[in-house]
Amino acid sequence: MNRTSIILSILALATLHAAAKTEEGDSLGAATYMPQIVVEAPLSRGSSASDLAPIAHTVVDGKETEKLRITDIKEMSAWTPNLYIPDYGARMTSSVYIRGLGSRIDQPAMGLYIDGIPYLNKNTYDFTLCDISRIAVLRGPQNTLYGRNAMGGVMDIKTLSPLEFQGVKAAVEGGNSGYAKARVSVYSRRNEHFGLSMALHGSRSDGFYTNTYKHSSCDWSNHAGANFRMEGHTQPGMPQDLHWLSTTAIDWVNQGGFPYQQISEEDGHMQAIAYNDRCAYNRLMVRQGLTIDCKVGASRLSSATSYTYVSDHMYMDQDFTSVPVFTLQQQQHDHTVGQDFTLKPWHTGKRWRPLTGASVWWRSLHTGAPVLFKRTGIERLILGPANKGIQIMYPSDTLSMDASELPIDSRFRQQYYGASLFHNSRLDLTHGWTLALGGRLEYEGQRFGYDSHSQLAYHISSPDGDIDKTFPASIIGHTTANYLQWAPSAGITYQKGDFTWHSSLSRGYKAGGFNTQLFSELVRQQMSDEVIRNYLSIPDKSPEVRQTTRYKPEFSWNAETGIMVKQGRNKAALTLFYTDCRHQQLTVFPEGLQTGRMMTNAGHSRIWGMEAEAARQLGRLGIQCSYGFTHATFLDFPDGTVNHRGKRIPYVPTHTLAAGADYHIALPHPEWLITLHADVRCIGPIWWNEDNSERQDFYALPGASLRVVYRDYSLTVWGRNLSSTHYSTFYFESVGNRFVQRGKPLQWGATLSMTI
């Protein structure tokens, strides 16, 4: 962390400390942000705060998301303790880390719900959010109520309803690096029982990074989307008492990406971004959801039906250098259908509040992932290892190829399907004590079909004569996997006045899967081995595909305890947690000149830490702060060479810290208001690999804004990373080289918005 960022961080924290000593005045535009232990707003899937086992939550309302410019889930990093969503690669890359758990590929550790509709594909997490009403982050395992993808927690987002707001909201903004964005939304309540809304938005950016080989931006982006909402309910007092909500979202993105810089092996300095082949990503996502809540006898029945379609295409220069080694294209077509039901008593005033539910879902994913080895890649990754093996016994022989390119085509057909039953009971005891018990039984099945093939035409020069040969290499087949998981939870709460204490124990899980990324490497290895077998009588070492590509399920036990205190406008919360994780799923990169990445399992991990949140309103001044500490280490992780016992788990920040202050200036004219905002977000250190030889140190990103409001119009001037701190968001190794992506530098701009 450079000197400027340290000074700004100290000044920001000092400002907050001084603010706490100011005298209270008249409340004017009080800051509304308050992390809470108990969520007061309704959650998705027909549940509410009274249904949950007591666990730690963070809630941010719509006004606060506008002030903090939270327009996607990445912006919740640090504002939620121990939540880290790095910004790197492309919008397909949506890695979420929370409390030491996370995943770079395949299944996420945190679930995402928008208006009660789940997002099961991690590739769709990075999109623009419009007109947020509330974001609730549930920390810790949520598998009992939410099932799949909830091992680390759940982010539940609610958008604005046309039954709550009618009018037009519009905004335009622009900033450095060619950034521009516009959005408009219309909310109309057609009658007392029916409303609809429509929102359109789009953005563009020239990016911050330059590919020096092509002398052009490598992280430009264009993005557009639309949201449609229809909502209605029956008249009060009707027997069915029905409420329904239909939402449609369309999201399109076309962008460059993967601005990775190579680390020099000679002096360790960052080299300029310079790759010769195309890197880009485009995606179309369509999501449709229907939720229905109605009265059935003395019970409340809730239903959530969802369908999501994703079509995306990724182009990647997989060696990220100016040398023609190899490229990857990945095209996916993803269909997901889900149905959830929950049943609970209509009246919530009873001592015993049971919640019972069931869910089914199905997902079909077709992937094409052809890898193209170019001339340098053929020589380095295929001919090199083969000649080295041959010349041990036949030093006069040489293997060569005339082709300048060697394609390896891979096609995958994956089907996922599951069903579950769950129940949760909350019992109010005496003297402020409440007990919650729950459990979920979930089945998940997977069908995996693969077809990865190529053809190797090569020439052998030998003193005994030259030979031309052609060898077709292929790995074709299918396999299945089935998982049955049990996720219990238990919690107890004590509440008296403004004081709340909670403790809970819960089990989290994440299903296993298959490494599609390994198949091009398996075919490449098959071709190299075949050449050597022409000389040596060695057995066929072709791996058993199921055992080689499969990774195990991950599961954990999580214990936590916490308190929250409220005294008027002053609130504070503290949570301690401990997680014992078995078979933790980790993304690793093979050593040496091998290609690709893979998911593997650590044997045993231990994670413990704390989370603290506080907010205070002092007249015109509002302050808030959140802090998370995570100590995540391996207890057992042999990788075949060494055991990484005692090492820190990669990609998990030890500290997350966010602090902000707002001051509202009242002008003589009551229709005018000026708000000053300053904040700082701090993250780190982050270890990048299993042996902890590479890491990102602790860094701070200060930001500020000035907002002027007149009636229904506002103008905001804002800045991020005001210290232009240099930091890394990603590190990896590929074919013997090391790469990083730098975080975004200073960003500034202005936003003009209106609400009429």
Q: Bridge partners of 158?
A: 134
Q: Which residues contact 414 (CB under 8 A, 6 or more apart)?
A: 363, 364, 365, 366, 367, 446, 447, 448, 449, 514, 516
**Average pLDDT in the 565-577 region?**
87
Q: Which residues contact 672 (CB under 8 A, 6 or more apart)?
A: 708, 709, 710
d(CA 579, CA 560) in angstroms, rounded, equals: 9
Render pLDDT for 126-135 as a digit per residue (tens, 0 to 9): 888 888 998 9
pLDDT at residue number 389: 76
Q: Bridge partners of 249?
A: 227, 287
Render pLDDT for 24-51 as a digit per residue (tens, 0 to 9): 333 333 233 333 333 333 344 444 444 5
Nearest CA-CA partner of 579 in 668, 477, 510, 518: 510
**Average pLDDT in the 639-658 region?**
91
HEC string of 115-179?
A: CCEEECCHHHCCCCCCCEEEEEEEECCCHHHHCCCCCCEEEEEEECCCCCCCEEEEEEEEECCCE
d(CA 110, CA 679) in angstroms, rounded, equals: 26
In 10 A of CB 480, how many CB atoms? Answer: 11
Class of domain 3-256+270-345+423-439+486-512+552-589+597-755 as given by CATH? mainly beta
Residue 110 pLDDT exceeds 50: yes
Residue 22 pLDDT exceeds 70: no
d(CA 389, CA 396) in angstroms, rounded, equals: 12
d(CA 505, CA 275) in angstroms, rounded, equals: 49
Q: Can you tell me whether residue 728 is helix, strand or coil? A: strand
> The tokens 């020239």 sit on which residue?
206
d(CA 293, CA 304) in angstroms, rounded, equals: 9
CA 32 to chain CA centroid, nearest Å: 26
| Burial category of 706 from C-beta neighbours within 10 Å (exposed 0-12, middle 13-18, buried 19 and up) | middle
d(CA 509, CA 556) in angstroms, rounded, equals: 6
pLDDT at residue number 297: 81
> The tokens 């030093």 sit on which residue?
395
In 10 A of CB 10, how many CB atoms? Answer: 12
d(CA 183, CA 174) in angstroms, rounded, equals: 12
Residue 561 pLDDT exceeds 80: yes
Nearest CA-CA partner of 624 in 570, 666, 566, 664: 570
Residue 684 pLDDT exceeds 60: yes
Q: Bridge partners of 543?
A: none
Render pLDDT for 451-477 as a digit per residue (tens, 0 to 9): 999 888 888 888 888 888 888 888 899
pLDDT at residue number 718: 96
CA 521 to chain CA centroid, nearest Å: 27
| Helix, strand, coil % over all residues of the chain, rounded to 5 | 10, 55, 35
With a pLDDT cut of 70, the percent of the chain lying above it is 89
pLDDT at residue number 173: 95
Phi, psi (deg, nearest 5) at residue 222: -130, 135
d(CA 152, CA 103) in angstroms, rounded, equals: 10
**Average pLDDT in the 262-266 region?**
90
Q: Where are the beta strands (DSSP E) in 263-405?
A: 280-296, 299-317, 326-345, 352-368, 371-373, 398-400
